[in-house]
């Protein structure tokens, strides 16, 4: 079975600085999707960025980028020029593409604090 591990329960970053959130996963599959979701205090889960495993190029979305290391099964999120609005829980998630196993598997989350 697949697992997702986020080893940093909490991180802090100064406003305008850069922070990296770590995520590792375990799978025997060769094709899958990886995601970072943000959950602010409103509880609304919002997709931050998505990576397809067969694509070697790291995904980027404005100030958010990932470092996808397939062999190491690592998927870290880098937030550049951190803003106060980035403060939230961040969840790493894995999704299989194998038939019948389309559930998303989430890590335990990292709480990001942004200091003014």
Taking the C-alpha atoms of residue 23 and residue 46, their distance in angstroms, rounded to an integer, is: 18
Please list the helix, strand and coil fractions of the chain in percent, rounded to the nearest 5, in that order.
5, 55, 45
Taking the C-alpha atoms of residue 48 and residue 112, their distance in angstroms, rounded to an integer, is: 14
Of residues 85 and 100, the one with the C-beta less far from other proteins:
100
Site size for other proteins (CB under 8 A): 25
Print the binding letters for residues 15-54 with other proteins: x by CB under 8 A, - otherwise: ------------------x-x-x----xxxxxx--x-x--
> Using the rule CB under 8 A, is 55 a contact of other proteins?
no
Residues engaged in binding other proteins (CB under 8 A): 33, 35, 37, 42-47, 50, 52, 91, 95, 97, 99-109
């Amino acid at each position: 079975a697949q697992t997702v591990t986020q080893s940093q329960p909490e991180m802090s970053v100064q406003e305008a600085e850069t922070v990296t959130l770590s995520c590792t996963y375990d799978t025997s599959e060769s094709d899958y999707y990886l995601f970072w979701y943000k959950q602010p205090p409103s509880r609304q889960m919002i997709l931050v960025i998505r990576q397809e495993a067969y694509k070697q190029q790291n995904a980027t979305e404005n100030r958010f980028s990932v470092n996808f290391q397939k062999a190491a099964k690592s998927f870290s999120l880098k937030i550049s020029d951190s803003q106060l609005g980035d403060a939230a829980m961040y969840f790493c998630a894995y999704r299989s593409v194998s038939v019948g196993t389309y559930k998303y598997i989430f890590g335990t989350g990292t709480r990001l604090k942004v200091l003014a």
